[in-house]
Amino acid sequence: MAGTAGQVIKCKAAVAWEAGKPLVIEEVEVAPPQAMEVRVKILYTSLCHTDVYFWEAKGQTPVFPRIFGHEAGGIVESVGEGVTDLAPGDHVLPVFTGECKECAHCKSAESNMCDLLRINTDRGVMINDGKTRFSINGKPIYHFVGTSTFSEYTVIHVGCLAKINPMAPLDKVCVLSCGISTGFGATVNVAKPLKGSTVAIFGLGAVGLAAAEGARVSGASRIIGVDLNASRFEEAKKFGCTEFLNPMDYKKPVQEVIAEMTNGGVDRSVECTGNIKAMISAFECVHDGWGVAVLVGVPHKDAEFKTHPMNLLNERTLKGTFFGNYKPRSDLPSVVEKYMNKELEVEKFITHSVPFSEINKAFEYMLKGEGLRCIIRMED
């Protein structure tokens, strides 16, 4: 790899030329990394719902042409000036949010909301100089959340890369760089259910199932899965769900159903849908006195959360979380070690695999609601 350091690399990338249109495999030029940047050879990437949401460009600023992708695993090809904690050959997971290690958030034991490198979905350029590192015939191709992993090579700020155990299989642990860690961390780091407790999980997609997995690992006695899609219930058993509710099956609000089932409410709830009704239900279904509800899903920009203040005064706690409260560089390597030590299963999240040339199939699977995670093999 050292032979390409400092040079422009020509490689294949899946370019989204316009909203909602199939990606096109193109030859792109990838510039060398600048100060505090790293160029990474991506070996495996997977498709997350966030990629699809911004590819569809519904309700947000469209930035095209663009290279999507943010769940991935790769190897450092070269590093820019000032990068000291990564070197060519290191195995890394890119992360859509970063850790500069200098700001007040990074220095706080309680926060992972880095001032410098917090997710920015509108920015399609590098923060160092406001320019892209991708181009085709001199025309800039924009970045996505600082990662752009649907490319054989990509340039990423050093603060958005977690150095991991080189023995960890990148085709498995790549899914830990976004959704799985978000859901798992929301439960184990934020909700913190005690052994024997009851937990409700709203939304049984990949993030919700990861939250259920966190409840299972924590020793919850009952894990109630809530979803409008009944076909997800059977799959959810693999992740520890013991009971299932479809809110459409009841004439009363689902929080009332849960309260009746659990003698007053669950000890913890984790909401992974972004639907405002589900968020309110998740909060109102926890037990007074000690119940904790954690919101993970991203709501519509005009949504409003409405509940009676007595629900708070009666000692219920409402929390939000971002990337499962994990600091990417400091904490993600230990999540990978949980997988290596068989404390965390990731294989059951991986339901499909396609070569890079068939990346649009991954989009089809997700749009149809088939499977959880599709691994895209860059070299096939």
272 is catalytic: no
Q: Residues 4, 103, 235, 242: which is the catalytic one?
A: 103
Q: Distance (Å, rounded) from C-alpha 222 to C-alpha 231?
A: 20
Q: Residues 11, 160, 174, 178: which is the catalytic one?
A: 178
Q: Residues 105, 133, 287, 373: which is the catalytic one?
A: 373
232 is catalytic: no
70 is catalytic: yes
- Residue 207, helix vs strand vs coil: helix
Residue 176, CB-side half-sphere exposure with 13 Å CA sphere: 33
Q: Residues 106, 241, 272, 285: which is the catalytic one?
A: 106
178 is catalytic: yes
Q: Residues 118, 143, 316, 352: which is the catalytic one?
A: 118
Q: Residues 39, 91, 105, 114: which is the catalytic one?
A: 114
Q: Residues 37, 39, 45, 71: which is the catalytic one?
A: 71
Q: Residues 11, 39, 45, 70: which is the catalytic one?
A: 70
- Residue 54, helix vs strand vs coil: helix
160 is catalytic: no
105 is catalytic: no
49 is catalytic: yes
Q: Residues 37, 39, 45, 48: which is the catalytic one?
A: 48
Q: Residues 49, 235, 256, 307: which is the catalytic one?
A: 49
50 is catalytic: yes
E runs forming strands in 48-202: 71-79, 91-94, 134-136, 139-141, 153-157, 161-163, 198-202
Beta-ladder partners of 154: 40
What are the Cα distances from residue 220, in Å, to 70, 187, 194, 207? Answer: 31, 11, 7, 18
Q: Residues 100, 160, 174, 272: which is the catalytic one?
A: 100
118 is catalytic: yes
* CB of 16 closer than 8 Å to CB of 66: yes
* CB of 91 closer than 8 Å to CB of 165: yes
* CB of 365 closer than 8 Å to CB of 48: no
Q: Residues 45, 50, 198, 262: which is the catalytic one?
A: 50
Give me the active site residues, please.
Answer: 48-50, 70-71, 100, 103, 106, 114, 118, 178, 373
